[in-house]
Chain A
Amino acid sequence: MKYQDEYRDPELAEKIVMAIKQKSRRRVRFMEVCGTHTVAIFRSGLKELLPETITLISGPGCPVCVTASEDIDRAILLCRQPGVMVATFGDLMRVPGSDSSLQQEKARGADVRMVYASFDALELARQHRDRPVVMLGIGFETTIPTIAAAVHQANQEKLDNFLVFSAHKLLPPAMDGLLSAEEVHIDGFLCPGHVTTIIGTNPYQTVVDRYGKSCVISGFEPVDVLQSIQMLVSQMEEARCEVEIQYTRAVRPEGNPKARQIIEEVFEPANATWRGLGSIPGSGLKLRDQYRAHAAESHYDLRVPPGQEMPGCRCGEVLRGVCTPPECALFRERCNPANPYGPCMVSSEGTCAAYYRYHQE
Chain B
Amino acid sequence: MKTERIQMDHGAGGRASHDLVAKTFMPALANPILSELNDSALLNFQDVRLAMSTDSYVVDPIFFPGGDIGSLAVHGTVNDLAMRGAQPCYLSVGFILEEGLEIDDLERLLASMAEAARDAGVQVVAADTKVVERGKADRIFINTAGVGVIAPGVDVAGQNAKSGDLVLINGPVGDHGIAVLSTREGLSFQTEIQSDSAPLNGLVNDMLEVSRNIHVLRDPTRGGIATALNEVANQSAVGIELEESSLPVRPEVNAACEMLGLDPLYVANEGKVLALVAPEDAEQVLHKMRQHPLGRQSCIIGRVVSEHPGRVVLQTGIGGRRIVDMLSGEQLPRIC
Contact A44 B320 (CB under 8 A): yes
Contact A348 B261 (CB under 8 A): yes
Check if A210 is an interface residue, CB within 8 A of chain B. Answer: no
Contact A360 B323 (CB under 8 A): yes
Supposing A108-B5, A222-B318 touch, asked if A358 and B323 sit within 8 A by C-beta, the answer is yes
Contact B322 A359 (CB under 8 A): yes
Q: Chain B's interface: helix, strand, loop or mixed, by majority? A: loop
Which chain B residues in 173-208 approach chain A with CB under 8 Å? 186-188
Contact B261 A49 (CB under 8 A): no
Supposing A1-B254, A1-B258, A10-B319 touch, asked if A96 and B1 sit within 8 A by C-beta, the answer is yes
Residue-wise, chain A 34-58 has the 8 Å CB interface mask toward B (1 for contact) of: 0010000011111111000000000
Supposing A103-B7, A104-B5 touch, asked if A44 and B333 sit within 8 A by C-beta, the answer is no
Which of the listed residues B318, B323, B332 has the most CB atoms from chain A within 10 Å of its own CB? B318
Bound together, the chains give a CA A207 to CA B25 distance in angstroms of 56
Q: Given the complex, which residues of A lie within 8 Å of B187, measured CB to CB?
A: 116
Residue-wise, chain B 14-27 has the 8 Å CB interface mask toward A (1 for contact) of: 11100100000000
A44 to chain B, nearest CB (A): 5
A119 to chain B, nearest CB (A): 9
Bound together, the chains give a CA A155 to CA B20 distance in angstroms of 46
Contact A360 B254 (CB under 8 A): no
Interface size class of A (residues with CB under 8 A): 35 or more
Check if B316 is an interface residue, CB within 8 A of chain A. Answer: yes
Check if A315 is an interface residue, CB within 8 A of chain B. Answer: no
CB contacts between A and B, total, < 8 Å: 135
* Chain B residue at minimum C-beta to C-beta distance from A339: B1
Check if B325 is an interface residue, CB within 8 A of chain A. Answer: yes
Check if B125 is an interface residue, CB within 8 A of chain A. Answer: no
Check if B135 is an interface residue, CB within 8 A of chain A. Answer: no
Q: Given the complex, which residues of A lie within 8 Å of B325, measured CB to CB?
A: 337, 356-358
Check if A294 is an interface residue, CB within 8 A of chain B. Answer: no
Contact B317 A10 (CB under 8 A): yes
Q: Given the complex, which residues of A lie within 8 Å of B329, measured CB to CB?
A: 94, 337-338
Q: Given the complex, which residues of B lie within 8 Å of A89, measured CB to CB?
A: 333-335
User: Which of B5, B313, B335 makes the CB contact (< 8 A) with A63?
Assistant: B335
Check if A107 is an interface residue, CB within 8 A of chain B. Answer: yes
Check if A286 is an interface residue, CB within 8 A of chain B. Answer: no
Bound together, the chains give a CA A2 to CA B162 distance in angstroms of 39
Check if A143 is an interface residue, CB within 8 A of chain B. Answer: yes
Which chain B residues in 3-56 approach chain A with CB under 8 Å? 3, 5-9, 14-16, 19
* Chain A residue at minimum C-beta to C-beta distance from B308: A360
Check if A111 is an interface residue, CB within 8 A of chain B. Answer: no
Contact B318 A116 (CB under 8 A): no
* Chain A residue at minimum C-beta to C-beta distance from B18: A338
Contact A359 B323 (CB under 8 A): yes
Contact B318 A107 (CB under 8 A): no
A130 to chain B, nearest CB (A): 18
Contact A120 B186 (CB under 8 A): yes
* Chain A residue at minimum C-beta to C-beta distance from B189: A116
Check if A14 is an interface residue, CB within 8 A of chain B. Answer: yes
Check if A295 is an interface residue, CB within 8 A of chain B. Answer: no
Contact A357 B320 (CB under 8 A): no
Bound together, the chains give a CA A113 to CA B186 distance in angstroms of 10
Which chain A residues in 23-82 approach chain B with CB under 8 Å? 36, 42-49, 63-64
Check if A114 is an interface residue, CB within 8 A of chain B. Answer: yes
Contact B332 A337 (CB under 8 A): no
* Chain B residue at minimum C-beta to C-beta distance from A88: B335
B302 to chain A, nearest CB (A): 15
Contact A1 B251 (CB under 8 A): yes
Q: Given the complex, which residues of A lie within 8 Å of B319, measured CB to CB?
A: 10, 13-14, 45, 49
Bound together, the chains give a CA A101 to CA B320 distance in angstroms of 36
User: Which of A93, A107, A340 makes the CB contact (< 8 A) with B5?
Assistant: A107
B199 to chain A, nearest CB (A): 31
B4 to chain A, nearest CB (A): 8
Contact A116 B260 (CB under 8 A): yes
Contact A64 B335 (CB under 8 A): yes
Contact B333 A103 (CB under 8 A): no
Check if B328 is an interface residue, CB within 8 A of chain A. Answer: yes
Which chain B residues in 278-336 approach chain A with CB under 8 Å? 308, 313-314, 316-323, 325, 328-329, 332-336
Check if B255 is an interface residue, CB within 8 A of chain A. Answer: yes
Supposing A1-B254, A89-B333, A89-B335 touch, asked if A337 and B328 sit within 8 A by C-beta, the answer is yes
Contact B255 A1 (CB under 8 A): yes
A254 to chain B, nearest CB (A): 21
Contact A90 B333 (CB under 8 A): yes
Contact A48 B333 (CB under 8 A): no
Q: Given the complex, which residues of B lie within 8 Å of A116, measured CB to CB?
A: 186-187, 260, 333
User: Which of B188, B251, B320, B328 makes the CB contact (< 8 A) with A45?
Assistant: B320
Check if B246 is an interface residue, CB within 8 A of chain A. Answer: no
A355 to chain B, nearest CB (A): 10
Supposing A103-B8, A120-B186 touch, asked if A358 and B336 sit within 8 A by C-beta, the answer is no
Q: Given the complex, which residues of A lie within 8 Å of B328, measured CB to CB?
A: 336-338
Contact A90 B332 (CB under 8 A): yes
Contact B336 A115 (CB under 8 A): no
User: Which of A4, A9, A338 makes the CB contact (< 8 A) with B15?
Assistant: A338
Contact A338 B320 (CB under 8 A): no
Bound together, the chains give a CA A336 to CA B251 distance in angstroms of 32
Bound together, the chains give a CA A138 to CA B314 distance in angstroms of 33
Contact B336 A36 (CB under 8 A): yes
A176 to chain B, nearest CB (A): 20
Bound together, the chains give a CA A154 to CA B5 distance in angstroms of 36
Check if A274 is an interface residue, CB within 8 A of chain B. Answer: no
- Seed contacts A45-B322, A47-B320; 15 additional CB < 8 Å A-B pairs: A4-B258, A13-B319, A45-B320, A46-B318, A48-B320, A49-B320, A89-B335, A107-B7, A114-B332, A114-B333, A120-B186, A123-B186, A347-B335, A349-B334, A349-B335
Q: Could you name 14 residue pairs across A and B whose Cβ atoms are closer than 8 Å? A: A1-B255, A10-B317, A13-B318, A42-B322, A45-B319, A45-B321, A45-B322, A47-B320, A89-B333, A94-B332, A107-B5, A116-B186, A337-B15, A357-B325
Residues of A within 8 A of B (CB): 1, 4, 8-10, 13-14, 36, 42-49, 63-64, 89-94, 96, 101, 103-104, 106-108, 113-116, 120, 123, 138-140, 142-143, 194, 222-223, 226, 336-341, 347-349, 356-360
Task: Please give me the 9 A-B residue pairs with the lowest Cβ-Cβ distance, nearest first.
Answer: A45-B320, A90-B332, A337-B328, A13-B318, A358-B322, A142-B336, A107-B5, A45-B322, A338-B15
